[in-house]
Chain A
Amino acid sequence: MYNNILQSIDNIAIWPMISFVIFFLFFLCLLWYVFTADKGFINTMKELPLNDGVKNSSTTINPR
């Protein structure tokens, strides 16, 4: 039954191949994108939530 289903789709073998290629390329690009990122930029982004532009901000927990 399993074989019948798969044989009834033309060139089914290309299907997992396409999935794999898309997947592989996606992650390659993602890793390249992340690891070549500028350190200064990453640090700026990291700090973003901690200053929210509120005057006399009470939104940070009192440091002890």
Chain B
Amino acid sequence: MELERFSYDNKVVKAFIIATVVFGLVGMLVGLTAAIQLFYPIFNFDTQYTTFGRIRPLHTNAIIFAFVGNAMFAGIYYSMQRLLKTRMFSDTLSWIHFWGWQLIILAAAISLPLGMTTSKEYAELEWPIDIAITVIWVVFGWNMIGTIIKRRERHMYVAIWFYIATFITVAVLHLVNSYEIPVTFFKSYSGYAGVQDALVQWWYGHNAVAFFLTTPYLGMMYYFLPKAANRPVYSYKLSIIHFWSLIFIYIWAGPHHLLYTSLPDWAQSLGVVFSIMLIAPSWGGMLNGLMTLRGAWDRVREEPVLKFMVVAVTAYGMATLEGPLLSLKNVNAIAHFTDWIVAHVHVGGLGWNGFLIFGILYWMVPRMWNTKLYSTSLANIHFWLGTLGIIFYAVPMYVSGVVQSLMWKEFNAEGFLVYKNFLETTVQILPLHMLRACGGALYLTGAIIMTYNLIKTAYAGTFIANEEAEAAPLTKVYRAPASGGWHHRILEHKPILFTVLSLVAILIGGAIEMVPTFLIKSNIPTIASVKPYTPLELHGRDIYIREGCVNCHTQMVRPFRSETERYGEYSKAGEYVYDHPFLWGSKRTGPDLQRTSGKYSNAWHYNHLLAPDAVSTGSIMPPYPWLFEQVIDKTQTAGKITALRRVGVPYAENYESTANDELDAQAKGIADNLKADGIEVMQEAEIVAIIAYLQRLGKDIKADKTASTTSKDQNP
């Protein structure tokens, strides 16, 4: 058989590597800023673009999509060409993919601090960017499938399977979760409401972790770890089981993010069961990675690349054992809404993704520049700084999470909450947050050292833009050898069939999770007293979304006595039927707000948002002075009403024509009430709208209670 000559494209890989490093540093720096804001509120810088509520999504998006995303593309483009013995399908598509992705990141970096957000975690980007993501993702998939089709290697190695599953599933998740109705170019409402929105969001959120942070990285592990160890993977059979069971089970586990919430119980149980089952494939994968190094452990002592990979794979194992444990309802009752979850996420993010990326970069860069790594000792220093960084990050956050939770739940002998004031629990954990920031700083320092090391390495070598290679072409007609039966190769050389089967595998779980909640109206028992928001409250809610209040405040009272004592009645599914998007939140840095209505006066809210620290001494909430100067954009009222009506909120016909009159009347009421307390306020100021919204939260259900008690009194 005549060998064909061709070359591998390293140029696009180099571009993705540079983007990875740059955005990695930026994303970590933003994360460190957010961490510091939580104990020195002064670092919110008193501008509306840099508050924690806007910075936190910037950090998560920068790390997930810019740092981990770019590294994933670098790794996929590098390994895929070599595993399939062909250049990428189209250099043009590669570059469209590269520049398109960077533009999306740029759009995110601009829009998030400006407060343009859908508020759905890890899917915060507004609808025009969502469309751009879809287009670029299709380009990536087209390029990938094209490469697979023109391959010179008959069978697809397991890493390629993981890449295919990544492409397919992220596409499905993104399309389903981004169903939103535009109001303006910068604003949209989720097409789903309340419980359904929460279910879709966490089906997406959980599987973004699965198929953006896990599957592509497992694919890269299966390629780069054997390369770095210079020995084949421990068990290829195990990797087949790992792949199919992982993609099949992961997709069902989303509801474990919603335990003890208003989600129907059966869906919660489904999430728990599948989460526990996930331990098996995850640990199978971890063991497969670690066992690959058997007989090579002496090299781990000397090679920084292997050190990083060992810690990465171990962190993967730890995080994927902890995840299922956290999804047990009794553990979740303690951990949910606390810093424990933040620790868990960062063991995965810093340990698994970060360290695997570092290992792969240290491996790829010397080879692409045809030289040796500039400094092994600097790489070792990076390794230890990073490892200590992870420990100093995770341990304080575990302690902090448990402390928070136990303080929230503690009753005294008389049966009253010991820490009635939420602020006491916040102040208690500040030293731990400082330690966490030190951990983050160590980790970032390591990454800076790596950047220097990689730059020096590149300067010392010569970049190989096109790496020459040769391989035999595929024969036109393929017959599987008769030996060993036919079935074990029905898949590995049929990419299209393989892709379709992967799609079927992930759709089954998705369907079983979602269909009942969507088809059966009565899944969400209606509460007659729950009414749509008034126009002013709607504006207030959108300001709440814009400021990212949901990053620190939940709107979900769980059915525990400690929560009903502190906040009021537990939350019902029917309360959220008009919430587009839902705002349950996933973390309580501040108290829950679901029952805020009537708890404090309008004047209290006014002063609190102006200077939180003056009202609650020691509060770490930033002040919001701009809410008092900026006015509500009333021109948008009609558009908002119309958009919400389209997604099913029952506003009356032509209501939009009178909505602003109603808005003015309600705003005047609040302004007059403030005046009585000696506060002069502009009626159109945003603060008035947000007060209106906060005073609405939980009001309907309280009205429902009052009504039912009165009727009981009348009919003894």
Contact = CB atoms under 8 A, between A and B. Distances in A.
Judged by DSSP, the binding face of A is: helix
Nearest to B249: A23
Contacts of A63: 230
B395 interface: no
A37 B158 contact: no
A52 B230 CA distance: 13
B525 A37 contact: no
A9 B523 CA distance: 8
Interface range for B? 35 or more
Given A46-B236, A47-B232, A54-B469, A36 B241 contact: no
Interface stretch (B183-191, B309-317, B484-492): B484-492
A45 B158 contact: yes
A19 B513 CA distance: 10
Nearest to A9: B520
Highest count of chain B CB atoms <10 Å: which of A5, A33, A36, A43? A5
Contacts of A31: 241
Interface in B266-317: 266, 270, 299, 303
Interface residues of A, number: 45
Contacts of B227: 49-50, 59-60
A1 B588 CA distance: 27
A63 B522 CA distance: 66
A38 B523 contact: no
A47 B85 CA distance: 14
Nearest to A4: B525
Given A48-B83, A55-B469, A61-B230, A42 B237 contact: yes
Contacts of B230: 50, 60-61, 63
A33 B484 CA distance: 12
B264 A53 contact: no
Contact of B270 (A8, A19, A40, A53): A19
B508 interface: yes
Nearest to A63: B230
Given A41-B484, A45-B157, A46-B232, A52 B82 contact: yes
Contacts of A4: 522, 525
Nearest to A39: B484
B155 interface: yes
Contacts of B264: 2, 5
B240 interface: yes
Given A27-B245, A38-B484, A55-B470, A61 B228 contact: yes
B488 A33 contact: yes
B471 interface: yes
Max chain B Cβ within 10 angstroms of own Cβ: one of A5, A38, A45, A48:
A48
Given A8-B520, A16-B266, A50-B231, 16 more contacts: A1-B525, A4-B522, A5-B523, A9-B520, A34-B240, A38-B488, A41-B484, A42-B237, A43-B236, A48-B83, A49-B223, A49-B227, A52-B82, A52-B469, A55-B470, A64-B299
26 contacts: A5-B522, A8-B520, A8-B522, A15-B512, A16-B266, A26-B248, A37-B484, A38-B488, A41-B488, A44-B155, A45-B157, A45-B492, A46-B232, A48-B83, A48-B153, A48-B157, A49-B82, A49-B157, A49-B226, A50-B226, A52-B469, A53-B82, A53-B152, A53-B469, A53-B471, A55-B470
